[in-house]
């Protein structure tokens, strides 16, 4: 079922590795921005009247940095403008250094039933290096406030001086604090980020070292009862993120707010990244999209393969044949042959063998080449 994404672009401080559309110096715009966000929903409501949404996800930025009344208001506006399924999953991203008892009370009243913490690491020096505003004590305090609630924790690999022991401490902390879901991502570094200097100076672990940390972390997570269901995502039974599963199944979603992207009715749409332009557009009654393109059949096929092979459930081959009116086995014969050692097929599902999921990019390349050969 389709999902709703809401982008909150405000943060207290810009982290050294941040590539997201977020601002540390624009909190004065919070109220005006949220009013525009509510209006954007109004502008889209007729177009989406036949849809039923079953997930809502507040991401950013740092959704927990703004006054919680706006989160309450956004959920209320969604309920007013769109049809929701019974028991929707409603997730809010949290920075451990920005929450309080009264904020949590408002989130609960708003209907938030899943939280996602950006912990990143349980080593305070590494948090300081990343420019994060929280420390380990903040995370322990924040998770205590959410005792009994369903929450996830993001952790990061590839940090300066990071060892297996650091990964152990981080996973152990998230586990002991009651995280039902853990996302374990590798740090990606781009030119222009403050952390890029560390990369140039050779101070960050190389790809092989990160892969070794990943294998180690994956083993620990499995021992503690978190099953991998996507290359970077691990969950206790029944605690997978429904919102993200919809992305990987190439389901539809609508995004509201600055830089938000949507995939609806075969089109990929991206909102502007410029805060002034976003607000001007909305106030003039226009959808703030800067890019909208129909996905070709060929691109849709490759997207489906690429997303499905990130997951443990893999690609449903008979469903693929039916959806695209093509024989997967014939169209991707060369890729299947080249990747024979890395793939397995069970009950009509094709997936990457467990030990190779982390290196999926090289496996996808032959699929891309075969995809080009077919219309
Ligand atoms: S909290 Fe997240 S969005 Fe905000 S600056 Fe840090 S990495 Fe970027």
For residue 119, the model assigns a pLDDT of 97
* CA gap 219, 298 in Å, rounded: 37
Q: Give residue 131 CA to ligand 1 midpoint distance, Å.
A: 9
* CA gap 123, 112 in Å, rounded: 29
For ligand 1, atom 3, the nearest C-alpha belongs to 61
| Ligand 1 residue neighbourhood (C-beta within 6 Å) | 11, 14-15, 18, 20, 22, 60-62, 95
* CA gap 97, 118 in Å, rounded: 10
Instruction: State both tokens at 46.
Output: 């007729």
Q: Give residue 328 CA to ligand 1 midpoint distance, Å.
A: 40
* CA gap 287, 218 in Å, rounded: 42
Within a domain: 304 = no
Q: Give residue 269 CA to ligand 1 midpoint distance, Å.
A: 23
What would the 3-class secondary structure string for 295-323 be? CCHHHHHHHHHHHHCCECCCEEHHHHHHH
* CA gap 188, 361 in Å, rounded: 15
| Together in a domain, 325 and 234 | no
Say if residues 159 and 204 touch (Cβ distance below 8 Å): yes
| Together in a domain, 205 and 80 | yes
Q: Which atom of ligand 1 is nearest to the CA of 22?
A: 3
For residue 291, the model assigns a pLDDT of 86
Q: Give residue 190 CA to ligand 1 midpoint distance, Å.
A: 15
Within a domain: 297 = no
Within a domain: 50 = yes
Find, among 39, 14, 37, the residue nearest to 24 by Cα: 14
For ligand 1, atom 7, the nearest C-alpha belongs to 18
Within a domain: 275 = no
For ligand 1, atom 8, the nearest C-alpha belongs to 18
Task: Identify the helix (H) or strand (E) that includes residue 352.
Answer: strand 349-352
What would the 3-class secondary structure string for 79-122 be? HHHCEEEEEEEEEEEECHHHCCHHHHHHHHHHCCCEEEEEEECC
Within a domain: 85 = yes
Q: Give residue 206 CA to ligand 1 midpoint distance, Å.
A: 23
| Together in a domain, 238 and 163 | yes
Other Cβ atoms closer than 10 A to 271? 25
**Mutation test of ligand 1: which of 61, 142, 154, 257 has the most ligand atoms closer than 8 Å to its C-beta?**
61
Please tell me the total count of domains within the chain: 2
Q: At which of 224, 247, 270 does a domain end? A: 247
Q: Which atom of ligand 1 is nearest to the CA of 13?
A: 5
What is the SS3 assignment for 130? helix
Instruction: State both tokens at 342.
Output: 């890395």
Q: Give residue 18 CA to ligand 1 midpoint distance, Å.
A: 6
For residue 265, the model assigns a pLDDT of 92
Within a domain: 354 = yes
* CA gap 94, 103 in Å, rounded: 11
Within a domain: 133 = yes
Q: Give residue 62 CA to ligand 1 midpoint distance, Å.
A: 7
| Together in a domain, 69 and 165 | yes
Q: Give residue 118 CA to ligand 1 midpoint distance, Å.
A: 9
| Together in a domain, 98 and 15 | yes
For residue 360, the model assigns a pLDDT of 86
Q: Any idea how long the chain is?
A: 375
pTM: predicted TM-score of the whole model, two decimal places: 0.96
| Together in a domain, 243 and 354 | no
Q: Give residue 20 CA to ligand 1 midpoint distance, Å.
A: 7
Please name the residues in contact with 317: beta carbons below 8 A apart, sequence gap of 6 or more.
Answer: 328, 329, 345, 348, 349, 350
User: Domain limits at 334?
Assistant: 312-373
Q: At which of 197, 223, 247 does a domain end? A: 247
What is the SS3 assignment for 43? helix
| Together in a domain, 204 and 322 | no
Q: Give residue 98 CA to ligand 1 midpoint distance, Å.
A: 12
**Mutation test of ligand 1: which of 16, 21, 23, 60 has the most ligand atoms closer than 8 Å to its C-beta?**
60
* CA gap 188, 195 in Å, rounded: 10
| Together in a domain, 193 and 89 | yes
| Together in a domain, 37 and 168 | yes
**The domain that contains 78 carries what CATH number?**
3.20.20.70
For residue 375, the model assigns a pLDDT of 75
| Together in a domain, 175 and 48 | yes
**Mutation test of ligand 1: which of 7, 8, 14 has the most ligand atoms closer than 8 Å to its C-beta?**
14
For residue 79, the model assigns a pLDDT of 98
Task: Identify the helix (H) or strand (E) that includes residue 256.
Answer: strand 253-256
> 87 — phi, psi (to 5°)?
50, 60
Q: Which atom of ligand 1 is nearest to the CA of 19?
A: 8
Other Cβ atoms closer than 10 A to 219? 11
| Together in a domain, 317 and 192 | no
pLDDT tens track, the chain, 375 positions:
999 999 999 999 999 999 999 999 899 999 999 999 999 999 999 999 999 999 999 999 999 999 999 999 999 999 999 999 999 999 999 999 999 999 999 999 999 999 999 999 999 999 999 999 999 999 999 999 999 999 999 999 999 999 999 999 999 999 999 999 999 999 999 888 999 999 899 999 999 999 999 999 999 999 999 999 999 999 999 999 999 999 999 999 999 999 999 999 999 999 999 999 999 999 999 999 998 899 999 999 999 999 999 999 999 999 999 999 999 999 999 999 999 999 999 999 999 999 999 988 889 999 999 999 887
For ligand 1, atom 2, the nearest C-alpha belongs to 61
Q: At which of 247, 264, 284 does a domain end? A: 247
Q: Give residue 177 CA to ligand 1 midpoint distance, Å.
A: 22
DSSP state of 201: T
- The CA–CA distances, whole Å, from 227 to 116, 224, 257 equal 17, 9, 33
CA 216 from centre of chain: 22
Within a domain: 327 = yes
| Together in a domain, 10 and 126 | yes
Q: Which atom of ligand 1 is nearest to the CA of 17?
A: 7
């Amino acid at each position: 079922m389709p999902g709703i994404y809401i982008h909150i672009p405000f943060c207290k401080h810009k982290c050294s590795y941040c590539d997201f559309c977020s601002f540390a110096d624009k909190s004065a715009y919070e109220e005006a921005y949220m009013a525009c966000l509510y209006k954007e929903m109004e502008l889209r409501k007729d177009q989406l009247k036949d849809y039923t949404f079953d997930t809502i996800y507040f991401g950013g930025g740092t959704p927990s940095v703004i006054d919680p009344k706006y989160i309450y208001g956004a959920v209320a506006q969604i309920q007013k403008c769109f049809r929701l399924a019974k028991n929707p999953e409603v997730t809010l991203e949290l920075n451990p250094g920005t929450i309080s008892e009264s904020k949590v009370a408002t989130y609960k009243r708003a209907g938030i039933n899943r939280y996602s913490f950006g912990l990143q690491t349980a080593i305070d020096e590494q948090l300081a290096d990343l420019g994060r505003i929280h420390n380990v004590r903040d995370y322990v305090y924040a998770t205590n406030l959410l005792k009994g609630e369903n929450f996830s924790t993001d952790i990061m690999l590839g940090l300066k001086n990071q060892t297996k022991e650091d990964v152990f401490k981080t996973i152990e902390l998230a586990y002991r604090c009651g995280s039902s879901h853990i996302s374990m991502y590798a740090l990606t570094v781009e030119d222009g980020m403050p952390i890029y200097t560390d990369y140039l100076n050779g101070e960050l672990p190389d790809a092989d070292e990160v892969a070794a940390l990943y294998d180690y972390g994956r083993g620990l997570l499995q021992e503690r009862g978190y099953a991998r269901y996507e290359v970077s995502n691990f969950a206790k039974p029944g605690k997978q993120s429904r919102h993200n599963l919809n992305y990987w199944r190439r389901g539809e979603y609508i995004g509201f707010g600055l830089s938000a992207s949507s995939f609806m009715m075969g089109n990929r749409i991206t909102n502007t990244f410029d805060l002034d332009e976003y607000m001007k557009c909305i106030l003039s009654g226009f959808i703030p999209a800067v890019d909208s393109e129909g996905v070709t059949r060929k691109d849709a096929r490759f997207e489906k393969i690429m997303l499905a092979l990130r997951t443990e459930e893999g690609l449903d081959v008979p469903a693929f044949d039916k959806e695209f009116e093509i024989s997967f086995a014939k169209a991707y014969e060369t890729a299947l042959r080249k990747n024979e050692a890395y793939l397995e097929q069970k009950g009509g599902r094709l997936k990457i063998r467990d030990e190779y999921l982390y290196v999926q990019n090289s496996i996808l390349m032959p699929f891309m080449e075969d995809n080009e050969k077919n219309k």
